[in-house]
Amino acid sequence: MSVLVNKNSKIIVQGFTGTEGTFHATQMIEYGTNVVGGVTPGKGGSKHLDRPVFNTVQQAVESTGADVSIIFVPPAFAADAIMESAEAGIKVIVCITEGIPTRDMITAKEYIKGRNCRLIGPNCPGVITAGEAKVGIMPGFVFKKGKIGIVSKSGTLTYEAADQVVKAGLGITTAIGIGGDPIIGTSTKEAVELLMNDPETEGIVMIGEIGGTMEADAAYWIKQNGTKPVVGFIAGKTAPAGRTMGHAGAIVGGADDTADAKMKILRECGIHVVESPAVIGKTMAAALKKVTA
């Protein structure tokens, strides 16, 4: 079993023929991802990267049976692209685009409610099921197949965590980059739940940052429902209050938003908190040994 995407997923690329879409679709195809086509309005009927191009997502779905979409569309049009995918029946929508206006995302998130789909992102690195499907912009060579799932707000820290886990001899099942914007489709808690329910995943790495309550919400859920060891890291320990640090959602608005406050909550909920990403792999290996001892 895999989480969100696998070797059988049929992926289309929105913004297929653009510079970013072309570059990352090429990388996805080289990884072995089942990219079945793409969407660029006005270029329907042509071919790109030896795959068909469609004018609309609906046409792509009807022709290819696509069930996953990845979006490389400029910020002004990205929310419309999300809603178009949801309307066409896409089950997993991965939006890479950064800088989508918050108001647009509020509209898009409300629109997809009640539809049978899941949005990952925006402003995220995507999702990768190691050895099967890369639906995103992450460096695929880092992710070797194994038994640890990753949930992260940060793209760079996702790659670092994966590297540390692989070097510890554990490998990755699925890594989910949920994105760091104020309005995103899938929360930390929801992503953790997916991995907690995946029989192939034996441990979870949860990477958060300052701002918001998503890490705390996930920690409380883990305390009540968790069945697997979780290693946690919170970025932004030295961030000053009131200043956005990196991601639009990474801003300390109150005492509970700081890295120290979140780390305290995580520890109280039984999560193995690390002070540095460099020890994520070693900490997870030790936590798994305790479980099997």
Active site residues: 247
C-alpha closest to that of 126 among 25, 41, 7, 58: 25
For 34, half-sphere exposure in the C-beta direction (CA atoms, 13 angstrom radius) is: 13
